[in-house]
Amino acid sequence: MILSDIYIHAENLCFSYREGNGKEENPALRDFSVEICEGEYVAVLGHNGSGKSTFAKLLNLILTPTSGHLTVGGVEVTREDLSDEEILNLRKNVGMVFQNPDNQLVATVVEQDVAFGPENLGLERAELRRRVDDALERVGMTQYAKHEPHRLSGGQKQRVAIAGVIAMMPKCIIFDESTAMLDPSGRREVLDTIRMLNRDYGMTVLNITHYMNEAAEADRVLVINDGRLLMDGTPDEIFARREELQAVGLEVPQCTELVHRLRGLGIALKGDGISTPDACADLILHAYEKLSK
Amino acid sequence: MDKLYLDHVSYVYSAGTPFEQKALDDVTLAIRGGCITGIIGHTGSGKSTMMQLLNGLAKPSSGKVLLDGYDINCDVNDVLEEWKKLPEYSGMSPRSAKKAIAAKIKKTRAKLCFRVGLVMQYPEYQLFEETVSRDIAFGPRNMGLAEEEIRQRVLEAAAFTDIGEDLLEKSPFDLSGGQKRRVALAGVIAMRPEVLVLDEPAAGLDPLGRTFIFEGIRNYQRKTGSTVLIVSHSMEDMARYCDDVIVMSGARVIRQGSREEVFAHVDELAETGLDIPQITHLMQLLRARGLPLPENIYTVDEAVEALRALLGLGAK
Amino acid sequence: MKGISFGQYYPADSVIHRLDPRFKVILTILYIVCTFLCKSLVGFAALTLSALVLIFISRIPLRIVLRSVRPLLMIIGFTFIINIFWSRGEQLITPEGWPIRIYAEGIWNAVYMFLRIFALITGTGIFLTYTTTPMDLTDAIESLLTPLKKLHVPVHVFAMMMSITLRFIPTLTEETEKIMNAQKARGANFTSGSLMQRAKALIPILIPLFVSAINRAVELSNAMECRCYHGGDGRTRLNVLRCNGRDWASLAIVVLFGAGILLLNGVGIGYTLG
């Protein structure tokens, strides 16, 4: 890994929520260190309250780390003398899509909502128009430009929210459980959009989720537990550690579960492909063909 | 007799306005008592409307909803002739009999929400009391039960949903998302409904939270022999917990029957925009590539069995 | 609930719909002034005619406009009666010796008051609420109040608050309905009992509603911060309000109309207000 490729570099990040009386509460994130490269598709797993959302909110300084160093795009954002302009620049570069689509749309018309971010950047009107049209086009919502957001389906609202973020042309987008409130088809819409942004536009993507099947689509998986980074690897590497995952309240995809149990019965299945049905099918087929010979 | 029966039920939203929309279109279905029935369908297929019809929160535009054979929306004139013959009304004059029958219908209706318990989507928003135990007691208190009985029901409901005693005196707003969900569920279970209807009970929860909720529901069903209806998008959960399954699409029921019968038509389900269990998808892939596997496998256990038979033979 | 569009905006394609919302706010104010300038019979005739013409141009069905008058009928009726019975004048209509004295001036006053209120409601309705989306209205008010920024009045903040309120009204309405249903399903009763009991029955709705509104506000402010919101400074807008000849022409027409009303006040037919 070449150093210049690293986009996000976190070193010993800590964060604690404070109670009303100012006394420190349970630390939500402890000594968290990770490097994320440009163009990576990273899934972040962890049960509710594991600290994964806190981690995301630190990356664009919605929360300020209690201690530690964070460098985003070569700029150290944990510096004491960070200017307001630098903060705005950070938020422009690291966009965020939240869980509840209703609570992140600001305007009563779709295109005006998408324009909200770029408007805050103070762009020219022609440039605003271009970006809004382009962003709506990318998420496939052009035909809804004049609609009222509250009449859209959950998946559509979430795509509008994504358009609002990509209209700022960020380098990285964080999805904070953005599929949790959607039905299967809405989830599919959002996941396809995420993948498209990563593959076709080279955006760095962090998908915070507790759906294992979603994590299987990423290039890399981080598992967070109790505010610490517990595992870091490819989906296959992570899902191979089934017992450890179960110990922290997570499960593995059904396919992975199946391979584990078959291996437990003494059936030889060689290979690492255990995260997706396609890879898993290859594995089983391979074993079957070997038997029939 | 079926516990619940929907007889040609239709429901129309905002009738007579440009926004008119059919949420249910001539739906007829039967729900067996004493088991868990899953209703699956994508958003807008009419599932949530159906829930509200079952306990009288909404009235069908046409058709009947029968609970134990009794039309829950019946009007005194519909039943007058039949009921007059019942021994309890036999000695009365026609006028007073009618009055008595009307009173009886009204009373039955008022009690309906306690017999058919409804757990809505994201039910944690309904919490409002100062303590968890008081919130769970809200339903039983509205039933007019004695304090001692209420206390007992709160404890019982907390036990079903695995809410520890240490949580009972806490504020519901201090709990985690999964715990709040369980408190909301307990608040309905505490009314001991004969029929428990749940809309996406595990939506948005992490795997452990999901398991807790479904185990709580199953516990309640097993111990009390009540009837449970779960509305969900997740066929993986349905395959794991339900005995019967109803599939809805475009305001209609497109399939109903036992889990095995319905899931045998898995391709058709995928067409209606539902996600089929990953394991079923894997089995389809394997069959397509020539492996002799049975058609309807939808849990990991079943897949393990089938593959062991196939691969294990040679291993010996 | 979902089916009902918020506000009274009535989508149609008319000249008035297409006017610059800032001009519409000004036109509304001018028109209101006209209704108060009006004093003579001919003037009121012209005013009533202008209101009817406005309805016609805006292509909004008459029954929709009349519907908005309905909630005000009580007030209109009340002022009508007060004017009839309490006005004193010279021309007594009721026979001498009756306990109630009604003067011709009283009847004129009542009729004029009625026409004035009718024109007032129609004018604001046609110029503003029926033909302007709430979003446009917010933009117009922000734009018109811009000069106040020099006096350090937080104009942008007010406008932002207004537009967020508009955005969340349907969401919170739906939420209220959901909470009500959930509590009804637990046997809550909102429709019977004494006033005190009913007020108490609202607690299970109000508390969850507040909690949810506060949560939404926190999440929304996070989301806005993430999208680089930092107040109105240096912010540009996608939708820029533009006025053209049509807007100036309509302004001229209304001003001329006002002048006309003043002139007509001099025509001495029928009763003229003092």
In this structure, the answer to whether residues C188 and C123 fall within a common structural domain is no
CB contact under 8 A, C182 and B173: no
Contact between B187 and B138 (Cβ < 8 Å): yes
Closest residue by Cα to residue B183 from B117, B131, B226: B131
A122 and A231 housed in the same domain: yes
C20 shares its domain with C136:
yes
Give the tens place of pLDDT for each residue, A44-60.
999 888 889 899 999 98
Nearest CA to CA, how far is A124 from chain B (Å)?
A: 38
A59-92: per-residue pLDDT in tens? 989 999 999 999 998 899 998 888 989 999 999 9
C135 vs A109: CB contact, 8 Å cut-off?
Answer: yes
Any chain C CB within 8 A of the CB of B90? no
The residue of A58, A120, A123, A160 whose CB has the most chain C CBs within 10 angstroms, and thus the best one to mutate to test that interface, is: A120
Which amino acid is it at A19?
Answer: E
Of B42, B206, B275, the CB nearest to A48: B206
Residue B181, helix vs strand vs coil: helix
User: Which of C2, C167, C228 has the CB atom closest to A91's CB atom?
Assistant: C228
CB C175 within 8 A of CB C209: yes
Choose one of A186, A205, A235: the last residue of a domain.
A235
Across the interface, whether the CB atoms of C186 and B113 are under 8 A apart is answered yes
Residue B17 has a pLDDT of 61
Residues A208 and A56 sit within 8 Å (Cβ to Cβ): yes
The verdict on C125 and C205 lying in the same domain is: no
Residues C125 and C172 in one domain: no
Question: Does any CB of chain A come closer than 8 Å to the CB of residue C241?
Answer: no
Write down the pLDDT at residue B180. Answer: 94
- The reply to whether B70 touches chain C by the CB within 8 Å rule is no
Rounded alpha-carbon distances, angstroms, from residue B95 to A161, B76, B80, B89? 63, 12, 11, 11
pTM: 0.85
Domain co-membership, C131 together with C200: no
Neighbours of C77 (CB within 10 A): 11
Q: Cα distance from B7 to chain A (closest Cα, Å)?
A: 28
In a domain, A21, yes or no: no
Q: Which tens digits make up the pLDDT trace of B223-259?
A: 999 999 999 888 888 888 999 999 888 888 888 999 8
Q: CA nearest B313 in A: which residue? A: A291
What percent of chain A has pLDDT above 90? Answer: 60
- Alpha-carbon gap: B61 to the closest alpha carbon of chain C (Å): 17
pLDDT at A23: 60
Same domain, A288 and A168: no
Paired with A175 in beta bridges are A97, A207
B126 or C233, which is more confident? B126
From the list C50, C11, C16, the residue with the least C-alpha distance to C247 is C16
Given CB atoms, is C178 within the 8 Å cutoff of chain A? no
In a domain, A137, yes or no: yes
In a domain, A74, yes or no: no
pLDDT at A292: 78
Question: Is B127 in Cβ contact with C186 (below 8 Å)?
Answer: no
The nearest CA of chain C is from the CA of A255 a distance in Å of 36
H helix intervals, chain A: 52-59, 84-93, 110-120, 125-138, 154-166, 184-201, 212-215, 235-239, 242-247, 254-264, 277-292
Chain A CA closest to residue C175: A102
User: What's the number of domains chain C is made of?
Assistant: 2
Same-domain status, C19 and C125: yes
Nearest to A184 among B209, B275, B304 (CB): B275
The reply to whether C111 and C221 lie within a common domain is no
B150-183 per-position pLDDT tens digit:
999 999 999 999 999 999 999 999 898 889 999 9
Evaluate whether residue C1 is within a structural domain: no
A89 and A226: one domain? yes
In this complex, is the C-beta atom of C219 within 8 Å of any C-beta atom belonging to chain A? yes
**pLDDT above 90 for B297:** no
Collapsing DSSP to helix, strand or coil, C108 comes out as helix
Q: Are the C-beta atoms of B60 and B9 separated by less than 8 Å? A: yes
Claim to verify: residue C149 and residue C182 sit in the same structural domain: yes
Tell me how many domains chain A contains: 2
State which residues form the domain around C92. Answer: 15-141+242-264
Record: contact C227-A117, CB cut-off 8 A:
yes
Contact B57 C178 (CB under 8 A): no
Looking at the structure, do residues C168 and C103 belong to the same domain, yes or no?
A: no
- C244 class by beta-carbon count within 10 Å (0-12 exposed, 13-18 middle, 19+ buried): exposed
Which tokens is C12 given? 């149609």
Of C135, C219, C238, the CB nearest to A103: C219
Whose tokens are 């009726």? That residue is C77
pLDDT, position A71: 93
Smallest CA–CA distance, residue A242 to chain C, in Å, is 34
Specify whether A183 is located in the same domain as A280. no
Both A109 and A223 in one domain: the answer is yes
Contact with chain C for residue B57, Cβ under 8 A: yes
Range of the domain at A220: 39-64+81-235
Three-state SS for C34? Answer: helix
Q: With contacts defined as CB-CB under 8 Å, which chain C residues touch A103?
A: 215-216, 219-220, 223
Q: Round to whole Å and give the CA distance between A154 and B283.
A: 31
Which CATH number belongs to the domain containing residue A125 in this structure?
Answer: 3.40.50.300
